[in-house]
C-alpha cells in the first residue's frame, strides 16, 4: 500500500495570494497605520487599495463581483494583514464574514445582486448587528423588535445594538440586524434578520467608542427608533435569523483565528528582529537563553494556531462539519495571540510599552480576540458539548 502523505502547504493560488498580501501589508500598511492608530482614524486610503486588490470579494463567486475564491483564501489574507496591523485586518474580516456573508448565504437573489457587487469591490462596507447592551454572549436574549405594519407591509425596527464594527464609516452601506419578529404563546422568541440601509430614518449611529485597541477600526453603538424597511428587507426565512447568524459566527471564528495567528506571528517577527539588534551586557539579547526560549515558545504558539485555523477552513471548504474545529482554532489562536503579545512586550522592555512600536499595538489589540465572536468561555463550552460533557 502506498503511504498516505499529509501536506499542510498552501496550494499555488493561495501561496501567491499570501505573498501578494504580505507585500501589501509590509509596504503599504506598515508605514502608515501607526498614524491612523494614534489619531483613532479610519484608514480609507488603505481600504480602497484593499478593494482594488479584490480582498473584500475573496470568498464570493465572480457572478456577484467576487474573486471566486474560498474561506481559506480569506484566512490567508487576514493572517498576513494582522502580522502588521489588526485594525486593518478586522475591517476586512467584519466586512466579509459579517457584512457580506449573511447576504450571500441567506439573502434572496435580488438582495445578492443589489448589494454584493458593491460590498465585494470595497466601495461599500456592510455591518452585522447582533450584540446588544446587556446581552453579550447571550445572543438569544435579543430585545430589538421588528413588527410588520399591516397597512404597508413594512417592518418597523426598534431597539439598539452595541460594539458593531464598520457601522459608521463614510462608506458603510447597510447593517444586517437581528430582531424579535414575534413571540409565541410559550414565550419563545421568533428571531429574524433584516437589511437596514445606512441613512434610513430613525437609525442613529452613536459616536465611536474610545477603545483600548483596534484604534484604526470603526466601532459604534446603534439605535433604532421606528426604523421602517420594506417587506422584502428580511434576510432568509422568517424565524431563522438566529440560526443563520449562529452559522455566520461559526465561520467567523475561523476568520478570527486566522487574524489571531497573524498577530501571534507578527509578535515573533518583531521579537526576532529586535533580539538581533538590541545589545545588553556586551552581546545581542537574542544570545541569552531566556530571550531565545521565550521567542521559541512564541513561534510554537503561532505555528499550531496556523494549523488549527487552516484545518477548520479546509473542512468548511470541503463541506464537512467544522463547528468544533472552528471553536478549537479560535480558542487556541486567540489565547496564543494574547500570550505572544505579552511576551513580545517583555522582549522589547520599555519600548514594548510605546505605541510607536508595533508590539505596543499588538499588546493593546490582542485581548479583544479572546472576547469577540464568542468568548474563550463560549468556545470551551462548545468543545465540551461536542464531547458530550458540560
Model pLDDT for residues 297-341, shown as the tens digit of each residue: 999 999 999 999 999 999 999 999 999 999 999 999 999 999 999
Cβ neighbours of 221 (radius 10 Å): 20
- Per-residue pLDDT tens digits for 157-166: 999 999 999 9
Confidence of residue 2 (pLDDT cuts 50, 70, 90): low
d(CA 365, CA 267): 12
Q: What is the pLDDT of residue 9?
A: 85
Whether residue 325 lies inside any domain: the answer is yes
Which residues have CB under 8 Å from 217's CB, separation 6+?
42, 87, 88, 90, 91, 94, 165, 166
Q: Let me know whether 167 and 77 are in one domain.
A: no
Q: Let me know whether 371 and 257 are in one domain.
A: yes
Q: Which set of grid coordinates corresponds to residue 148?
A: 410588520
Q: Let me know whether 373 and 253 are in one domain.
A: yes
Query: Is residue 221 flagged as an active site residue?
Result: no
Domain finish residue from 97, 125, 153: 125
- Per-residue pLDDT tens digits for 90-102: 999 999 999 999 9
Q: What is the DSSP string of 134-165?
A: TTTT-GGG---EEEE-TTT--EEEEEEEEEEE
- Per-residue pLDDT tens digits for 199-255: 999 999 999 999 999 999 999 999 999 999 999 999 999 998 888 888 999 999 999
Whether residue 226 lies inside any domain: the answer is yes
Out of 80, 93, 325, 373, pick the active-site residue.
373
Q: Let me know whether 364 and 320 are in one domain.
A: yes
CATH of the domain at 198: 2.40.110.10
Domain finish residue from 59, 92, 125: 125
282: alpha, beta or left? (left if phi > 0; alpha if psi -120 to 50): left
Q: What is the pLDDT of residue 109?
A: 97
d(CA 258, CA 76): 7
Q: What is the DSSP string of 40-62?
A: T---HHHHHHHHHHTGGGTTS-G
d(CA 374, CA 366): 15
Q: Let me know whether 161 and 183 are in one domain.
A: yes
Whether residue 227 lies inside any domain: the answer is yes
Domain finish residue from 192, 218, 242: 242
Q: Let me know whether 312 and 264 are in one domain.
A: yes
Q: How many domains does the chain have?
A: 3
- Per-residue pLDDT tens digits for 361-375: 999 999 999 999 999
Which residues have CB under 8 Å from 77's CB, separation 6+?
17, 18, 21, 55, 58, 92
Whether residue 3 lies inside any domain: the answer is no
Q: Let me know whether 186 and 274 are in one domain.
A: no
Beta strands in the chain (DSSP E): 125-129, 145-148, 155-165, 172-183, 189-197, 203-205, 219-229, 279-280, 283-284
Q: What is the pLDDT of residue 5?
A: 62
Q: Of 383, 77, 129, 117, which Cα lies nearest the Cα of 242?
A: 129
Whether residue 7 lies inside any domain: the answer is no
Q: Let me know whether 108 and 136 are in one domain.
A: no
Whether residue 71 lies inside any domain: the answer is yes
Q: Let me know whether 328 and 374 are in one domain.
A: yes
Task: Print burial letters for 308-331: b (CB count within 10 Å at least 16), e (below 16).
Answer: bbbbbbbbbeeeeebbbbbbbbbb
Range of the domain at 48: 12-125
CA pseudo-torsion sign 324, 329, 330, 332:
positive
User: What whole-number percentage of the chain has pLDDT above 70?
Assistant: 97
Which residues have CB under 8 Å from 40's CB, separation 6+?
208, 210, 211, 215, 216
Q: What is the pLDDT of residue 1?
A: 57
Q: Let me know whether 36 and 169 are in one domain.
A: no
Q: What is the DSSP string of 216-268?
A: TS-EEEEEEEEEEE-GGGB-SSTT-HHHHHHHHHHHHHHHHHHHHHHHHHHHH
Whether residue 1 lies inside any domain: the answer is no
Q: Let me know whether 86 and 109 are in one domain.
A: yes
- Check: CB of residue 74 under 8 Å from CB of residue 97: yes
Whether residue 2 lies inside any domain: the answer is no
CATH of the domain at 73: 1.10.540.10
- Check: CB of residue 220 under 8 Å from CB of residue 96: no
Q: Let me know whether 151 and 274 are in one domain.
A: no
Amino acid at each position: 500500500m502506498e503511504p498516505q502523505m499529509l501536506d499542510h502547504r498552501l496550494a499555488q493560488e493561495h501561496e501567491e495570494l499570501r505573498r501578494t498580501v504580505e507585500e501589501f501589508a509590509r509596504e503599504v500598511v506598515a508605514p502608515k497605520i501607526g498614524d491612523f492608530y494614534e489619531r483613532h482614524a479610519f484608514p480609507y486610503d488603505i481600504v480602497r487599495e484593499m478593494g482594488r486588490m479584490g480582498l473584500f470579494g475573496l470568498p464570493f463567486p465572480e457572478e456577484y463581483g467576487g474573486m471566486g475564491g474560498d474561506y481559506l483564501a480569506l484566512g490567508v489574507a487576514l493572517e498576513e494583514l494582522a502580522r502588521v496591523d489588526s485594525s486593518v485586518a478586522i475591517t476586512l474580516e467584519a466586512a466579509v464574514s459579517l457584512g457580506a456573508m449573511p447576504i450571500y448565504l441567506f439573502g434572496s437573489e435580488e438582495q445578492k445582486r443589489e448589494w454584493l457587487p458593491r460590498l465585494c469591490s470595497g466601495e461599500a462596507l456592510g455591518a452585522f448587528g447582533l450584540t446588544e447592551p446587556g446581552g453579550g454572549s447571550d445572543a438569544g436574549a435579543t430585545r430589538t423588535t421588528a413588527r410588520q405594519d399591516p397597512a404597508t407591509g413594512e417592518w418597523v425596527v426598534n431597539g439598539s445594538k452595541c460594539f458593531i464594527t464598520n457601522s459608521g464609516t463614510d462608506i458603510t452601506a447597510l447593517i444586517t440586524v437581528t430582531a424579535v419578529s414575534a413571540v409565541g404563546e410559550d414565550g419563545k422568541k421568533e428571531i429574524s434578520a433584516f437589511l437596514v440601509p445606512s441613512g434610513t430614518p430613525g437609525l442613529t449611529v452613536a459616536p465611536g467608542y474610545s477603545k483600548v485597541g483596534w484604534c484604526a477600526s470603526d466601532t459604534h453603538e446603534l439605535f433604532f427608533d421606528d426604523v421602517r424597511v420594506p417587506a422584502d428587507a428580511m434576510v432568509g426565512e422568517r424565524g431563522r435569523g438566529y440560526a443563520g447568524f449562529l452559522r455566520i459566527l461559526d465561520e467567523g471564528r475561523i476568520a478570527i483565528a486566522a487574524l489571531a495567528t497573524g498577530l501571534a506571528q507578527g509578535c515573533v517577527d518583531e521579537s526576532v528582529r529586535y533580539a538581533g539588534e538590541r545589545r545588553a551586557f556586551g552581546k545581542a539579547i537574542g544570545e541569552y537563553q531566556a530571550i531565545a526560549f521565550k521567542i521559541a515558545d512564541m513561534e510554537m504558539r503561532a505555528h499550531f494556531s496556523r494549523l488549527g485555523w487552516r484545518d477548520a477552513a479546509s473542512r468548511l471548504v470541503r463541506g464537512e462539519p467544522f463547528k468544533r474545529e472552528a471553536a478549537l482554532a479560535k480558542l487556541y489562536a486567540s489565547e496564543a495571540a494574547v500570550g505572544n503579545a505579552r511576551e513580545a512586550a517583555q522582549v522589547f522592555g520599555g519600548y514594548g510599552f510605546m505605541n510607536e512600536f508595533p508590539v505596543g499595538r499588538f499588546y493593546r489589540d490582542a485581548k479583544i480576540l479572546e472576547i469577540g465572536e464568542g468568548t474563550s468561555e463560549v468556545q470551551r463550552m462548545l468543545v465540551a458539548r461536542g464531547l458530550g460533557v458540560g
